[in-house]
Each structure stands twice: as structure tokens, then as C-alpha cells.
A and B are shown apart, each in its own frame.
Chain A
């Protein structure tokens, strides 16, 4: 980024004057404290709430630090309530959705970008058009499709395929993958082809190694998307034994002791928070790519 963009709304001169400096310190402190209270404190409240006893949680005057520590509510939530099983379910759904999306969408984007089939731009246009469509308007027909897949007449309800297959029809993935593939210099692919590499080899040995950043973005969004999803798995996985942790938490919220429910909520959040801390840069890059698409 050029140095000039460092210049923002407020001039350096204004910032360095004494009132400017005082004001800056004041607003900065206020913001840091405010953000911590607004966005970090709720997470602390959830995690520490899980460590309190049920009696302490029900007390009308809450305590900032648990009076007595009950870390066992985490293990109880994991084993007694069976959150461990729901976690495995989520993991299976996320891993499958990630793998299938990656295979299907990378192949499609590669084809549209590099193999350029006849009518490719029409196909891409029709895919991108679905981005304009509200997901909720397709809820009912997609649900009915999943209960009875056309031509093969399979019922995917209560199978992970009901999550995996619709996830592949992801125009956003195909769009950002294609855009990235477009930028790879043609000479690189050309020389690989002259060495006798077929399209599969070019994809695996030239295109994919160069595309690590965009593959990271697509992967993170695929996993995070499935992990956060609620309505779709609620509809297509009615069998409690197969539900992911999000759907299970809502179903069990009424029956679980409050501290175990909070422990479950913390555990359901930790994988995503870890992903965020590890891949902040990629997530923000994907966010900006997504907002500026078009």
C-alpha cells in the first residue's frame, strides 16, 4: 500500500497538538474498553458461567468470578449429554462438505477459466445468478428435492449427503477460484502442456500449488459455513443421533442444566475461534473479495 494512504481523515498536525493528543488518548481508551466490554466480556461471561454451580447461576445477583469452580460441567456436557457425539457429527459434515466442495468447485472453476468450454460464459452467468437469489426462497423446493432426488429417487434425509451435495452448488467459490485461476500466467500452463502434461496434471501440479491463498479462503469459508449452519441441518437431519452440535444444542437447551449448556456453547465455539485466530488474514481477504464481487 502506498505511503500516502496512511494519511487519513485527521491530519498528523492535528493529532500532534496537545488537545489532539489528549482527545486521541481519550477516544482510544474509551474504544478499547468499550470493545472489550461489548465483544470479549460476553465470551468471558459464557465461559465462566459454565464453571459456576447451578445454584450460583440461578442466583438473581450474578457474580463476576465463580464462587466455587466446577470445571466438571465441561466433561459432563461432553459425555452425559452426548455432546461428543454431536461434535463428531459436525466434524463429519464439515470435513465432507469441505472435500466435496473443493473437488467439485475447483474442477468447475478450472474448466471455466482454463479449458474454456463452449457456452462457458453462459454457465458461469447462470451460476452467478443464483447468488442474487435469496436462499430462503429456495428452502422448500430444495428440501423436497433432497427428500426425493430427481432421476435416481433417493431420499437423502438423515444422511450427510443432504448437507454435502447442496453445498457444492456454491457460485461464490467458483467465482473467486475462477478469478484467481484467470490470473495465472498462460505461459506457465503452456510450458507444462508442451512437456506433455494433460489437463489433470496441469491442474494438480501447476495451478493448485500456485493457488494456495484462494484455496485457503474457500476451505475456511466451507468449514465455517457448515459449522455455523442451523436451519438447513435442522430440516434435513431430524434424527437426533445424526444432528450437528448447533442443532443439538438448541434441542437440548430446555433440558440441560444451565452450566452444562454453557459449557456446550463454549465448546461449540472454540473450533471456530481457533480457526479465526489462525487464519485472520485469509478470512479478512475473503470477506473483502466477497463484498467487492461483481
Chain B
């Protein structure tokens, strides 16, 4: 990722050419240039050091400490991890999160792809369709959640009224153990598919038309062209969005926090919701940090794959 740039700027052109200062002078100049450069970089470095790099180290250490606001932190070894694995909710949270991620992939991966392929064929209403699919992305997530909570309401809620119109039985969307997680995935897909759709559309637009023409001359049907031209051409971007989506959905928080609070009967307690409870409800920062480390290791696996894939591209 951190590919150094190839364009070189002359670094010491301000140096007077006639003066015979020699090495010492050049070195002094180089030091001054570095000082200027670091003066510009300083504030950014400080922000990263305080709010990004040191918390990474601190997070790892906190997992082995007992932390309270009153006393200094004490070292407790693997105690937090032992308590973590003893908590029956830990396993539940991982199962629920895995289920959410799986469902979100089924919907969130298929829907934007199909949408983008279809939208790319249209010669009319393009701007309108692009805009509407992205509208939910621009809503503050809390508004989306409150809005859908109202839609899911079994009484005056929109969904059960639509079902009633179709003479179908109403559902206990968020109150039923079976449906609650699916309901959260639906909101999440609705809210986020605009981003992925637009990314796919950009990628589809850059597929060379000759590939389709050549396939057509070979007598390939539309379905075969989709399979042998479109999908291979999008393979890289499909892999990337797949991985980013796994990483993103495994950190699901606001959906269960606002819509179900983890219920019914812990059916929607996710990893991040449990982490939030450990830290900010029970004030057990050590336990929460142990949880963070586990989450970090699991997501690090996917991040590693992402890095391998993107290396050398771009």
C-alpha cells in the first residue's frame, strides 16, 4: 500500500551553486530542510501518536490489566481472557455476529452487484437511479435506525400494513428471536448498498467495450458474456468489497444498539455491543480490551488477505 512515489522533486535546488561550501554546507542545508518538513508534519504526527499509534499498544496492554478510574491499573495476566471465555455471552455474541455477517453478505453482496449490472445497461434515468440508491447512505445512521424501528412496529408500522394489504400475516419483526437478526440485516443492507453499487458502476464503466464485442462475435449469449467478461473483469473489485464488507459488518453496533438493545433473549447481542457493555456499562475496561484484542485478531486475518490482494495494485 505504501508505495513510494516515483516522481522525484529536486530537494536541494535552492542551494547556491557558485558558493564553495562543500559537504558541510550541503549537510546543514539538508538538516534545515528536514526541520522544515517535520515542522509541517508535526501536528499530524502528534495526532497519530496520541490518538492512533499509542492506543494500539495501550489496547494490547489493557487486556492484561485491571483498570478502574479510582486506582492505578494493576497487572492481572490472562485473567481477563479467562473471564471472557467463561462468559456464555461471548460465544453467543460471536455466533450472532457471524450470522449477521453471513446474511449481510448474501444480501449486501448480491443486491449491489445485480443493481449495478442492470443500471449500467440503462440509457435513461441514469442520474435519478444513481442518486436514489445513494440517498440512504447520506442519512445519519441514527435516523435510519429510528425510521426503520418505526416501520417494523407491529401496530401502526408500515411493513405489517403492507403485509395486511397483501393479506399476509403480520410479523413481530424485532421482537421475534427468529426474525430480529434478519430485520437488522435488512436495514443495514438498505442503508449501505448505495456505496457498493456506485463503486461497481464505476468499475463496470471501465470495462473495454471490445471485450463484449469480441464475445458477441464468438456467439456468446448475454448470460455467457456476463459470466465470461463482466465477472472476470470485476473480480478484483468484487474481492475487495467482499473483504471490506466482512470487516465492516463484523463490527456491527448501531443496528442492535438502537433497534433491539441485543434482545430478544440475547438473539442480537453482537461482539461490539458486548464490548460496549463491558466497557461503558460495567466499566470493566480490561475485559473489554481483551475482547478488542480477540476482535482485532479475527479481523486481522481478513485484513491480511486484503493486503495480499492489493499489494502491487494501484
Contacts and interface: CB of A to CB of B under 8 A. Distances in A.
Interface residues of A, number: 118
Interface residues of B, number: 114
Contacts, number: 314
Contacts of B55: 138, 141-142, 145
Given A136-B272, A273-B135, A32 B210 contact: no
Nearest to B60: A141
A92 interface: no
Contacts of A58: 155-156
Contact of B313 (A104, A127, A224, A294): A294
Interface string A220-234: 000010011011000
Contact of A107 (B9, B43, B53, B132): B43
A120 B289 contact: no
Contacts of A280: 131
Contacts of B299: 134, 137
A247 B142 CA distance: 8
B118 to A, nearest CB: 6
B134 A276 contact: yes
Interface string A260-289: 011001001100110111001001100110
Contacts of B208: 4-5
A7 B210 CA distance: 8
Given A130-B48, A272-B138, A110 B58 contact: no
B295 interface: yes
A253 B263 CA distance: 18
Interface string B238-255: 001100000100110110
A121 B4 contact: yes
Interface in B206-222: 206-210, 212-213, 216, 222
Interface string B1-18: 110110101110110000
The A contact surface, by secondary structure, is helix
Given A137-B59, A249-B143, A294-B314, A39 B51 contact: no
Contacts of B48: 126-127, 130, 169, 171
B51 to A, nearest CB: 4
B258 interface: yes
A46 interface: yes
A116 B9 contact: yes
Nearest to A1: B205
Contact of B132 (A39, A138, A224, A228): A39
A35 B289 contact: no
Nearest to A230: B142
B121 A9 contact: yes
B10 A246 contact: no
Contacts of B5: 113, 182
B33 interface: yes
B280 interface: yes
Nearest to B292: A137
Interface in A196-241: 199, 224, 227-228, 230-231, 235
A99 to B, nearest CB: 13
Contacts of B13: 190, 193
A274 B272 CA distance: 32
B47 A165 contact: yes
Contacts of B272: 136
Given A60-B156, A250-B142, A291-B241, A32 B129 contact: yes
A224 B138 CA distance: 8
Interface in A9-54: 9-11, 14, 24, 27-28, 31-32, 35-36, 38-40, 42-43, 45-46, 49
B56 to A, nearest CB: 7
Contacts of B119: 31
B99 interface: no
A107 B40 contact: yes
20 contacts: A10-B121, A45-B151, A60-B155, A108-B43, A113-B5, A121-B4, A128-B1, A130-B48, A136-B272, A138-B55, A140-B279, A169-B51, A169-B52, A199-B36, A228-B140, A269-B138, A276-B135, A276-B138, A287-B202, A294-B313
Given A62-B161, A169-B51, 13 more contacts: A39-B190, A45-B151, A116-B11, A128-B1, A130-B56, A131-B1, A132-B307, A136-B272, A137-B295, A140-B289, A166-B51, A189-B9, A230-B141
Of all A-B residue pairs in the complex, the 4 with the closest CB atoms, nearest first, are A7-B209, A108-B44, A117-B37, A115-B37
